[in-house]
Chain A
Amino acid sequence: MATELTIPKLEMSMTEGTLAEWMFESGDHVNEGDVIYILETDKTAREIESPATGIITVTVADGETYPCGTVIGEIA
């Protein structure tokens, strides 16, 4: 089953986050715990770890800001 990747809500006050940089491209194999992208909020920049092991598909561009909950890709 594919694991959906969404922009997380890391703070009570967080409504959106900037996907600063993808560390993988679509088709890459990732392991659970690998840093898959850098997320910037108004408070901090954070390395986001992969929640699953599998092949990643990236569906949105980095360098953009997205609301929390936006689907940004999946791991299958």
Chain B
Amino acid sequence: MAQGNLGIEPEMLKAIYGQMARIRAVDKAIQAGLSSGKFTFTYWPMTGQECIPATVSQLTTERDYMVTTYRGIHDQVAKGVDLYGMFAEALGREGGLNKGKGGSPHISDPSSGSMVTSAVVGAGPVIANGLAISAKQRGEDRVTIVNFGDGATSIGPVHEAMNLAATWKLPVIFMCQNNQWGEYTPIPEYTASPNFFGRAEALGFRGVQLDGNDPAAFYKGMKEVIDSVRAGNGPVFVEALTYRMGPHAGVGDNYNATKDALAAAKERTPIEKTRALLIDAGISSEDELNAVEAAAKAEVDDAVARALASPVTPASETTVDVFADDTCVPKRGVYPVREAEAELTGETKTMTMAGAIVDAQDVAMAANAEVFLLGEDVGDPHGGTFGTNKGLQTKYGPLRVRNTPISESAIIGAAIGSSIAGMNPIAEIMFCDFMGVCLDQIANHAAKQRYMSGSATHAPMTIRMQVGGAIGGFGAQHSQSLEAWLTHVPGIKVLYPSNPIDAKGMLLSAVNDPDPVVVLESIMLLFTQKAEVPTGDYRIPLGVAKVCREGSDVTLISYGWELHNCLAAAEELAKDGINAEVIDLRSLVPIDYYRVLESVKKTKRAVVVHAAVEFCGLGAEICSTINEELWGQLKAPAIRLGADYAPIAYSREIEMSQVPNTDAIVARVRASMKS
């Protein structure tokens, strides 16, 4: 074939082949290492898909962001991730890109633009949107490319991501590497609609189908797509046709495929085809290509040898990188003393809790252009279903107060991605009950990004969630107290203010915190609580409990709206001569065990009260710590009081009795006093 008929510059074809050769060398080294038993890690082979990232690498730089999946080693190699760091990471070594804490399915390497790698199918696209938001908001010309397989098109968040990206015209490319297999299941067993690129059109943006095994055609198509996205024309969905030659996981051939299908696919594998083309067209000689392949192998051999020499990441690293500050990690027997906020002295203004939340966000947004809000109905005139953002969109505009589709995964993913890029988003999830539809993003991504990346990246974002309960009539799906779902996941801080002053001071600390923070806001308190709230940038340190009522006979430990029931119960108990101390935890993670234990050392009795279901609730954790630490000093074992084990009922009578009320707290304390 004459060079002029190639449809691509010869030098470009050689460059693409050079990247393919590097990917092949890495693939072979991994398969050989696993086969011989030299390596023991799980591998999800990308054999056959090399052309896609090899081509994209010629059209992007390290400034462009990439998100990929566990089957993304080819993407990493072509993106320019350091091979030594990558192999050391796959082997769980100290020298790994992410200190051996994430492994190959969680590589994060901002220096090359490989920002996030997820092992949850279809989780990446919502995060990619956030990276793209940061680029667009900052006026940068970066594009974000998110890689995923055809199998991922079946999961909800991919749909959410596509819809949001189209709505906001984000500079993101949805790179669907259609390798014909969703894990072990082939098309069309898992979908009746295999024209994946057509789904983009259904959502109002452009989709294209390209041959991902043909470098010339793919280069031409991708150049036009990347130029268009970079120019600000909105997202594009690229369906890159290819074939997965290997199994879902492990090494060797794709044993689920028929022999005929595999043989046909082998005829189209891009490396062999491109190599033959380079020789046939007279662009490269056999010797030149051998030299390219030998250089790739030498680079990989050197990386593997050095990676194997790197020490295995030691157990002493266990809690490092959970949070920016290791003292926030709850540890048995270690109870740090954190300094409380100063006494209020400055100017104040009367605010409801809702008003205090608006004020805190106003202060944060005025101080830092990288703070923005997103959520359902957060814009004016509503300013959120409960008015917690009222006036902010009018003041800061629709790009800093972003109304979203009803898409909780897309909301949290966008917050994660933009925060990884360094912004400080505040995402509102109206009703914590809806956490279930975005819990993967919160628990598997926001909470773990710092740890899985060995602090190479982190997600300094805030999530505000409204919590029903104590109002009546909201029913089982709008009234739950689900803080234990969050406190059980390492890596996320959880706050639960009980009054306007704390709501403001803690929210401002959350927005400025280097870690992801969830702030739970009781709907019941939003408008029933009023206080003189400090104006300006007022912050309350996280992990500092507060004694709200001093006492000597028993310590009541609570948070959120149950704190007010505890204060009322304390007044009732006082009539019997029982002098209760009441502690507002305020911050559930980090937790202030120091102040809790100091109080119980004095009173020698403790009752933990929360609106959440008692069984497996936070109260069990706190009681256990008190009983273990103060055994022998207590007059009675620490006990807990939470909601009955039942969904919250619609019947007002049931709801008001199933969740601890003042009478129930008084009765529980009296039981404690008897022992």
Residues of A that sit less than 8 Å from B by CB: 3-12, 14, 33, 43-44, 46, 48-51, 68-69
Sort A-B residue pairs by CB-CB distance and give the 6 closest, nearest first. Answer: A6-B37, A51-B36, A11-B250, A10-B250, A8-B37, A44-B255
Q: Is the CB of B37 within 8 A of A50?
A: no
B366 in contact (CB, < 8 A): no
Question: Least Cβ distance of A10 to chain B in Å?
Answer: 4
Contacting residues, chain A, for B247 (C-beta < 8 A): 11, 43
Q: Is the CB of B252 within 8 A of A10?
A: yes
Q: Is the CB of B36 within 8 A of A8?
A: yes
B265 in contact (CB, < 8 A): no
**How many angstroms between the C-alpha atoms of A68 and B33 in the bound complex?**
14
Q: Is the interface of B mostly helix, strand, loop or mixed?
A: loop
Q: Is the CB of B255 within 8 A of A43?
A: yes
Q: Is the CB of B251 within 8 A of A46?
A: yes
B32 in contact (CB, < 8 A): yes
**What would be 18 A-B contacts, judged by CB atoms less than 8 Å apart?**
A4-B37, A6-B36, A6-B37, A8-B34, A8-B35, A8-B36, A10-B34, A10-B35, A11-B247, A11-B250, A33-B32, A43-B247, A48-B36, A49-B36, A51-B33, A51-B36, A51-B38, A68-B37
Chain B: residues with Cβ within 8 Å of the partner, total of: 16
B294 in contact (CB, < 8 A): no
B42 in contact (CB, < 8 A): yes
Question: Least Cβ distance of A39 to chain B in Å?
Answer: 8
The verdict on A3 contacting B38 (CB below 8 Å), with A43-B255, A51-B32, A51-B33 known, is yes
Q: Is the CB of A69 within 8 A of B37?
A: yes
Chain B: CB-nearest residue to A46: B252
| Contact pick for B37, options A5, A11, A12, A46, CB 8 Å | A5
**How many angstroms between the C-alpha atoms of A12 and B41 in the bound complex?**
9
B369 in contact (CB, < 8 A): no
**How many angstroms between the C-alpha atoms of A65 and B37 in the bound complex?**
16
**How many angstroms between the C-alpha atoms of A7 and B249 in the bound complex?**
17
Interface centre among B37, B247, B250, B255 (most CB of A within 10 A): B37
| Contact pick for A9, options B32, B34, B252, CB 8 Å | B34
Chain B: CB-nearest residue to A41: B250
Contacting residues, chain A, for B251 (C-beta < 8 A): 8, 10, 46
**How many angstroms between the C-alpha atoms of A74 and B202 in the bound complex?**
58
Question: Least Cβ distance of A26 to chain B in Å?
Answer: 17
Q: Is the CB of B32 within 8 A of A14?
A: no
**How many angstroms between the C-alpha atoms of A50 and B34 in the bound complex?**
11
**How many angstroms between the C-alpha atoms of A69 and B36 in the bound complex?**
10
Chain A: CB-nearest residue to B36: A51
Q: Is the CB of B250 within 8 A of A14?
A: yes
Contacting residues, chain A, for B185 (C-beta < 8 A): none
Q: Is the CB of B36 within 8 A of A5?
A: yes
Contacting residues, chain A, for B253 (C-beta < 8 A): 44
Question: Least Cβ distance of A43 to chain B in Å?
Answer: 6
Question: Least Cβ distance of A23 to chain B in Å?
Answer: 14
Q: Is the CB of B35 within 8 A of A48?
A: yes
Chain A: CB-nearest residue to B249: A12
